[in-house]
Amino acid sequence: MVDKILKKIKDEKFEFVDIKLTDLRGYWRHITMPAENFTEKIFSDGVGIDGSSLGFLSVKAGDMIALPDPSYCFVDPFYEDPTLSLLADIHEVNPVAPHTRDPRFTARKVVERLNKMLPDTEAVMGPEFEFYLFDEVRYDQSPNQGFYFLDAEEAEWNSGFDNDKNLGHQIRYKEGYHAAPPRDKTYAVRCHICKLFKEAGLTVKYHHHEVGGAAQQEIETAFAPLMEMADKSQLAKYLIKNGAAKFGKSASFMPKPLFMEPGSGLHVHQFLAKGGKSLFYDEKMPFKLSQTGRHYLGGLLKHAAALLAFTNPSTNSFKRLVAGFEAPVRISYSVGNRTAAVRIPGYIKDPAQMRFEFRPPDGTANIYLAFAAMLAAGLDGIKNKIDPGEPFDKDLSTLADTPATNYPLLPSSLLRALEALSNDRDFLHEDGVFSKELIDTWIKMKEYEVEQIRIRPHPWEFRLYYDV
């Protein structure tokens, strides 16, 4: 595999090799080397980095290495000079060993746990990429003022804009789902991004305008095994953001950037497969969901509150998880019901892809940790034969209080999700998948974000309280 990479660099005359690594928050960082300096030795010795600047270690013990992974590479389409990109793992030095807080290492460990429990079985994941495309983005906060300003040419608020370029055809609030041109003014951007996907090895199922009238989008890709899909999800976000920039637009995966418009999720379809067949399918069971699938589902539901600390790890995440916007609000499952935390799609025709969709996640997640946490919860359900209970087929966002006791609310804030994680973390520690240090660091990092929001005045507070 290493030989193939080195041969590719030489034969295709790449001038640079770009090593991309994922920090604790889930952001890509990169180091670029002239191709002539990229030798076989790099795959064993790695490239020195300051781990403390990536959230991995304290400054006193910051020296680490990025070790390129030869299993996956792609041509970076955004660099003028021919550049081949490789992903890397974070390793400690003296001795060289995987770092326990490295997101990719954590994802690998949960796959190892799966193969220990169910040999020759794959965890298959399929996220849906929802995002907004804005034409202008401004925000700032200082001691005496704070604001944000977003604009999208197709948004309804621009219908009265006095400009020669305004030809009407704006999209009304919450009426953007599958909108067609001329209202859909972002079709060409999505097509360009999908071409980039294809060139980088990502298979696109389809793309379309989403519900949000202010240029909300969705691109859905083919499912893949957990590690492959996590890597490709990182790449997808990279291609979307930089591809949009080529059109002078800003792509945002922020869960709830706009008041009174739908938020953007990262719904994750998932199932276990063996021999090309889904272990979640059983023709004779209700909803054709096998006992293995029911137990996996039971684990997801039991640990849902704690999972949100990884799948929805921003204060903004919980502005999306509210009633009235097709977002999940209660810990429940159903067939085709989009207000449930877990939806069993009602349109599945292929038994080999029998699956369900965990709907809370959003784009602020570190995808490796989110995938690992969801699979760990599902495996805990299988191990302990957790019964998911009965499905619910009503709109859970309007459920009366009495029957709602069987379908508790999801956490309403990041702080509550972190509290849930603090009280329910043993399932993540099984077989050392999530290290104690990783979870402790994650909680501390996210509590800091909560505190930074808590201590700053909010613009709406002036509307409520300025004249008291």
CATH of the domain at 19: 3.10.20.70
What integer best gives the mean pLDDT of the chain?
92
Residue-level pLDDT at 61: 62
Is 326 known to be catalytic?
A: no
For 441-466, the pLDDT digits (tens) are 999 999 999 999 999 999 999 999 99
State the pLDDT confidence band at 96, using cuts at 50, 70 and 90. Answer: confident
Which residue out of 210, 231, 282, 380 is catalytically annotated?
210
pLDDT higher than threshold 60 for residue 77: yes
Percent over 90 (pLDDT), the chain: 78
The residue with greater pLDDT, 174 or 301, is: 301
Is 456 a catalytic site residue?
A: no
Residues 182-238 pLDDT 10s: 889 999 999 999 999 999 999 999 999 999 999 999 999 999 999 999 999 999 999
Q: Is 451 a catalytic residue?
A: no
Q: Is 95 in the same domain as 239? A: no
Domain for residue 108, yes or no? no
44 and 165 share one domain: no
Residues 128 and 88 occupy one common structural domain: no
Mark which of 47, 67, 99 sits at the end of a domain: 99
| Residue 334 vs residue 55, higher pLDDT | 334
Catalytic residue list contains 50: yes
434 located within any domain: yes
Q: Are residues 256 and 364 in the same domain?
A: yes
Which of 99, 101, 104, 267 is labelled catalytic? Answer: 267
Q: Out of 68, 84, 99, pick the residue that ends a domain.
A: 99
Residues 158 and 227 in one domain: yes
pLDDT, tens digit, for every residue of 386-435? Answer: 999 988 866 555 555 545 557 889 999 999 999 999 999 999 999 999 99
Residue 338 known to be catalytic: yes
The residue whose two tokens read 């359900």 is: 381
pLDDT band at residue 110, thresholds of 50, 70 and 90? Answer: very high
One domain, residues 9 and 156: no
pTM for the whole thing? 0.95
267 has catalytic annotation: yes
Catalytic residue among 184, 359, 380, 425: 359
The confidence score (pLDDT) of residue 146 equals 93
> pLDDT at position 200, please?
95
Write out pLDDT tens, residues 114-155.
Answer: 999 999 999 999 999 999 999 999 999 999 999 999 999 998
Query: By CB neighbour count within 10 A (0-12 exposed, 13-18 middle, 19+ buried), where does 160 fall?
Result: exposed
Same-domain check for residues 64 and 176: no
Confidence of residue 323 (pLDDT cuts 50, 70, 90): confident
Q: Are 364 and 253 a contacting pair, CB within 8 Å? A: yes
Assess whether 297 and 418 both reside in one domain.
yes
Active-site annotation holder among 128, 153, 261, 362 = 128
CA atoms within 13 A on the CB side of 400: 2
Of residues 130, 135, 154, 362, which has the active-site annotation?
A: 130
Q: Which of 12, 45, 50, 426 is catalytic?
A: 50
CATH number, domain of 277, equals: 3.30.590.10
Let me know if 210 is a catalytic residue: yes
Active-site choice (169, 208, 338, 416)? 338
Question: What per-residue confidence (pLDDT) applies to 348?
Answer: 77
Judge if 162 and 89 occupy the same domain: no
Residue 468 scores a pLDDT above 80? yes
For residue 182, whether the previous peptide bond is cis, meaning omega lies within 30 degrees of 0, is: yes
- What confidence score (pLDDT) does residue 212 get? 92
Q: For residue range 233-269, what is the model confidence (pLDDT) as tens digits?
A: 999 999 999 999 999 999 999 999 999 999 999 999 9
- Find the catalytic residue in 69, 122, 153, 218: 218
| pLDDT tops 90 at residue 52 | no
Average pLDDT of 36-41?
Answer: 94
Q: How many domains does the chain have?
A: 2
User: What range defines the domain where residue 260 resides?
Assistant: 122-465
